[in-house]
Structure 1
Amino acid sequence: MNLYFRFKLHLGAFVLLVLLNFSTAFGQSDPTGERRVTGTYVIKNATITTSPGKTASNANILIKDGLVQAVGSNINIPKEAQVIEADSLFIYPGFIDAAGNAGVGKPAEAERPSDFNPSNPPDEVAGITPWRSVLDYYDPKSTQISDWRKVGFTLAQILPDGGMLPGKAAIVIYGGNASSNVLANQTAMAAKFRGMGRGMYPGTQLGVMAKFRDLYKNAELSSQHSRLFASNTGLNRPEINKTLEAFYPVLDKNIPVIFEVSNDLEIRRALTLQKENGFNIILSGVTEADPVIDVIKAANAKVLLSLKLPDDKVAKADVANKSEEVQARTKRVKEAYELALKQAALLEEAGIAFAFTSMGARSADLHKNLKVMIENGLSEDAALAALTTNPANILGIQKFAGSLEKGKLANMVIMTAPIFSEDAQIKHVVADGYIFNYDTSKKKNGGNGEASVAVQGIWEYTSDTPAGSSGGKMEIKKEGDRYTGSITYDNPAGGGKASSEMKDINVSGNYLSFSFSVSAGGMNIDVNVSGDIVGEEFSGNMNLADFGSFPLNASKVPNQFNK
Structure 2
Amino acid sequence: MNIKLKVFSSLMFFGFFLSSIFAWSQSDPSGERRVTGTYAIKGATITTSPGKTVSGATIIIKNGLIEEVGTNVKIPVEAQVIEADSLFIYAGFIDGASNAGVAKPTDPERPSNFDPSNPPDEIAGITPWRNVLDNFDFKNGQVSDLRKSGFTVAQIIPDGGMLPGKSAIVVLGGNASTNIIGQNAALTAKLSISRGGRGMYPGTQLGIMAKFRDLYKNAEYSAQHKRLFAANSGLTRPEVNKTLEAFYPAIDKSIPIMFEVSNDLEIRRALSLQKENGFRLVLVGVTEADMVINEIKATNTQVLLSMKLPEDKITKAKIEDLSEEMKARTIRAQEAYKNSLKQAGLLEKAGIPFGFTSIDGKTSDLPKNLKLMIENGLSENAALAALTTNPANILGISKFAGTIEKGKLANMVIFNGPMFNEDSKIKHVIADGYIFDYEIKEKKASNGNGKNGTADIAGEWEYTSDTPAGSSGGTMIITKEGETLKGTITYDNPSGNGKASSEMKNISISGNYMTFSFDVAAGGMALVVSVSGDVDENKFSGNMSLADFGSFPLNASKKPNQSTR
Task: Give TM-score scaled by structure 2 length.
Answer: 0.92
Residue 311 of structure 1 deviates from its aligned partner by 2.3
Q: Which residue of 2 aligns with 1:78?
A: 76
Evaluate the alpha carbon distance shift between residue 482 and residue 79 of structure 1 in structure 2; reply closer, same or farther with a 3 A threshold: farther
Superposed CA offset, 1:411-446 (max 9, x none): 11111111111101111111111111111023347x
| Alpha-carbon offset, residue 315 of structure 1 | 3.4
Partner of 2:288: 288
Q: State the match for 1:462 in structure 2.
A: 464
Q: CA deviation at 1:234?
A: 1.1
Shift of 1:11: 5.2
- C-alpha spacing 1:151/1:267, structure 2 compared with 1 (3 Å): same
Give the distance between the partners of 1:141 and 1:511, measured in 2 at CA.
23
1:113 to 111, 114, 117: 111
| 8 Å Cα contact 1:40/1:65 also seen in 2 | yes
* Deviates most, 59-68 or 315-324: 315-324
Secondary structure class of the residue paired with 1:230: helix
Q: Is the 8 A contact 1:193 1:266 kept in 2?
A: yes
* 1:378 paired residue number: 378
Which one of the candidate residues 44, 47, 51 is aligned to 2:45?
47
CA distance in 1, matches of 2:488, 2:60: 50
Which of 505, 508, 528 aligns to 2:507? It is 505
SS at match of 1:258: strand
Which residue does the alignment assign to 2:408? 408
- What is the one-letter code of the residue matched to 2:214? D
| Contact 1:502 1:515 survives alignment (8 Å) | yes
Residues 456 and 562 of structure 1 are in contact (CA less than 8 Å); yes or no, is this contact kept in structure 2? Answer: yes
**Mapped contact 2:20–2:545 kept (Cα < 8 A):** no
Cα–Cα, structure 1 residues 423 and 449, in superposed 2: closer, same or farther, change >3 Å?
Answer: farther
Deviations 1:126-166 (A, max 9, x none): 11111110011111111110011111111000001111111
Q: Distance in 1 between matches of 2:429 and 2:376?
A: 28
The amino acid that maps onto 2:232 is N
Matched residues in 2 for 1:537 and 1:336: separation?
38
Q: What residue in structure 2 maps to residue 198 of structure 1? A: 198
1:147, 1:18 → 2: CA distance?
A: 9
Equivalent residue, structure 2, for 1:22: none
User: Using a 3 Å threshold, how does the CA distance of structure 1 residues 461 and 253 change in structure 2: closer, same or farther?
Assistant: same
Partner SS for 2:381: helix
**1:419 and 2:397 equivalent?**
no
In 2, Cα distance between the equivalents of 1:18 and 1:97?
19
| Structure 1 residue matching 2:440: 3-state secondary structure | coil
**TM superposition shift of 1:458:** 3.3
For the residues of structure 2 that align with 1:523 and 1:131, how far apart are their CA atoms? Answer: 27
Residues 257 and 281, structure 1, Cα contact 8 Å, conserved in 2:
yes
Distance 1:17 1:378 in 2: 25
1:130 aligns with 128
Tell me, in whole angstroms, the C-alpha distance in 1 between the residues paired with 2:166 and 2:106: 17
Corresponding residue of 2:218? 218
Q: Does 1:396 align with 2:402?
A: no
> 463-472 vs 189-198, which deviates more?
463-472
Gaps of 5+ in 2: none
Aligned pairs for 1:56-95 within 5 A: 56-95=54-93
Q: Tell me the residue number matched to 1:255.
A: 255
**1:507 and 1:163, CA in 2 relative to 1: closer, same or farther beyond 3 A?**
same
Deviations 1:17-56 (A, max 9, x none): 768xxxxxxxx92122121111100111111111111111
Q: Per-residue CA shift, 1:440-481, capped at 9, x if unaligned?
A: 023347xx9944655444332112346653211223456666
Q: Which residue of 2 aligns with 1:544?
A: 546
Paired position in structure 1 for 2:534: 532
In 2: Cα distance, 1:142 partner to 1:16 partner: 13
2:146 alignment partner in structure 1: 148
- CA contact 1:511–1:531 (8 Å) conserved in 2: yes
Aligned counterpart in structure 1 of residue 171 of structure 2, from 173, 177, 180? 173
**SS of the counterpart of 1:364?**
helix
Structure 2 equivalent of residue 102 of structure 1: 100
| Corresponding residue of 1:265 | 265
Q: Residues 102 and 547 of structure 2 are in contact (CA less than 8 Å); yes or no, is this contact kept in structure 1?
A: no
- Matched letter for residue 68 of structure 1: I
Structure 2 SS opposite 1:291: coil
Give 1:74 shift: 1.1
Q: Is the 8 A contact 2:38 2:78 kept in 1?
A: yes
Contact 1:16 1:512 in 2 (8 A): no
Q: Which shows bigger deviation, 251-260 or 178-187? A: 178-187
- The residue number in structure 1 matching 2:352 is 352
Per-residue deviation, 1:508: 3.2
Contact 2:410 2:430 survives alignment (8 Å): yes
Give the counterpart letter for 2:464 in structure 1. Answer: T
Taking a change above 3 Å as real, the CA distance of residues 512 and 52 of structure 1, as seen in their structure-2 partners, is same
Matched, 1:313 2:313: yes
Comparing 431-440 and 502-511, the one that deviates more: 502-511
What's the TM-score once normalised by structure 1's chain length? 0.92
Asked if the contact 1:16/1:510 (under 8 Å) is kept, the reply is no
Residues 1:328 and 1:516: Cα distance change in structure 2 (over 3 Å): farther
- What secondary structure does 2:312 align onto? coil
Identity of aligned residues (%): 67
Q: In the superposition, relative to structure 1, how do residues 259 and 561 fare at CA in structure 2: closer, same or farther (>3 Å)?
A: closer
Using the TM superposition, give the Cα deviation of residue 6 of structure 1 relative to its aligned residue in structure 2, in angstroms.
Answer: 5.2
Tell me the equivalent position of 1:10.
Answer: 16
1:161 maps to amino acid: D
> Would the alpha carbon gap of residues 14 and 313 (structure 1) be closer, same or farther in structure 2, given more than 3 Å must change?
farther
**Cross-structure match for 1:160:** 158
Distance 1:9 1:359, change over 3 A: farther
CA–CA separation in structure 1 for the residues paired with 2:87 and 2:459: 36
Q: Quote the RMSD (CA, aligned, Å).
A: 2.5
8 A contact 1:14–1:554 mirrored in 2: no
* Aligned match of 1:438: 438
Alpha-carbon contact 1:98-1:357 (below 8 Å) kept: yes
Between the aligned partners of 2:341 and 2:298, the Cα distance in structure 1 is 24
Give the whole-Å Cα distance in 2 for the aligned partners of 1:527 and 1:376: 32
Closer/same/farther in 2, CA of residues 95 and 16 from structure 1, 3 Å limit: closer
Partner of 1:471: 473
Name the residue aligned to 2:323: 323
User: For 1:180, what is the secondary structure of its paired residue?
Assistant: helix
Deviation by residue 1:298-330 (Cα, 9 ceiling, x = unmatched):
111000001111122233333433322222212
Letter in 2 for 1:210: A
Q: Return 108-117 or 359-368, whichever deviates more.
A: 108-117
Q: Which moved more, 1:551-560 or 1:221-230?
A: 551-560
After alignment, is 251-260 or 193-202 more displaced?
193-202
Aligned partner of residue 489 in structure 1, secondary structure: strand
Please list, as runs of the form range in 1=range in 2, the aligned pairs for 1:25-36 lying within 5 A after superposition. Answer: 29-36=27-34
